[in-house]
Structure 1
Amino acid sequence: MICQKICGFGAAFGLLMFLGCENGPMENPEWPARYPASGTVNYQGKPIEGADVTFTNLTAGSTGTGKTDADGKFQLTTYVENDGVVAGEHIVAIRRVDVVDNTPADVDLSAGGEAVPPTITWIIPEKYSNSAKSGLTATISETEPNEFTFDLE
């Protein structure tokens, strides 16, 4: 009898946890207001897939990120998927690299084997990966559409 009650409670708790996790994180009232923001990244006139896009509002101490799809499009997330970013001036970084692991497959790193440094190939110029040096900015509005196009050369 006791086992049935404990098992029943465990199953109910597990179901609640599953349903809670399925819905993702809940909104926190302490989080600042965020506004939807999205855009497109092109390099030399072509959309860039797999680029990491970062908007940083230094005044608010807040950062939102997104990743470009096959069409170079991104949506920004601060806390909850696609929730946007805080209003105001942002400095922007865009990073796209390919990393090739050069360590041979037969090297056992857990047994003291040494890794070979990877090969990093910048798909877009490295300068865009540093928001302080990229020269890219964006202003997030509370009322206007926040759609940005970054044409990188």
Structure 2
Amino acid sequence: MFRHTFYCLLVTLGLATFSGCERGPLENPNWPQRYPAAGTVSYQGKPIEGADVTFTNTTAGSTGTGKTDADGKFQLTTYVENDGVVAGEHIVAIRRVDVVDNTPADVDLSAGGEAVPPTITWIIPEKYSNSAKSGLTATISETERNEFTFDLE
């Protein structure tokens, strides 16, 4: 009896797994409509790799994020990878820093050793990391292609 129940459970789980794969990522009906959005970030004419890009629509209370690749290109995600962002006006923040841990490797923090503050180097000016101060905006369209170029100085 147990063996039969076990096999039935395995078959049911297997079917559920395969049917889930056919549909792709699950979409929540409560999520707002999103539109694909992408772009490029450069600083002083050079592409910036590893920058965090954030689009915030304050009216809709929605935020999408992306990370730049070696060519400075990014795609935005709100809920599911590369699903885009809601339509409308967005304030934009772009942040790229290098953080160096200065605590010696032989310091055991779990045994009461003290950490040395890290060194933070801004790769692009810090002002761009705050959407309220960056001066960067973008309008996401429901009908047009949403491609943005941010050439920071």
In the superposition, the TM-score normalised over structure 2's length comes to: 0.90
Unaligned runs of 5+ in 1: none
Unaligned runs of 5+ in 2: none
Aligned residue identity for 2:62? S
For residues 100 and 16 of structure 1, what CA distance do their matches in structure 2 show?
A: 46
For residues 111 and 4 of structure 1, what CA distance do their matches in structure 2 show?
A: 53
CA deviation map 1:116-138 (0-9, x unaligned): 11111000000000000000000
Q: How many residues are paired up?
A: 153
- Aligned runs of 1:2-151 on 2, under 5 Å? 2-3=2-3, 5-6=5-6, 9=9, 12-13=12-13, 16=16, 20=20, 25-151=25-151
Percent identity (aligned): 85
Please report how far the alpha carbon of residue 13 of structure 1 lies from its aligned counterpart in structure 2 after TM superposition.
3.1
CA deviation map 1:14-64 (0-9, x unaligned): 78469858x874110100000000000010001000000000000000000
In the superposition, the TM-score normalised over structure 1's length comes to: 0.90
Q: Per the alignment, do residues 80 and 112 of structure 1 end up closer, same or farther by CA in structure 2, a change over 3 Å counting?
A: same
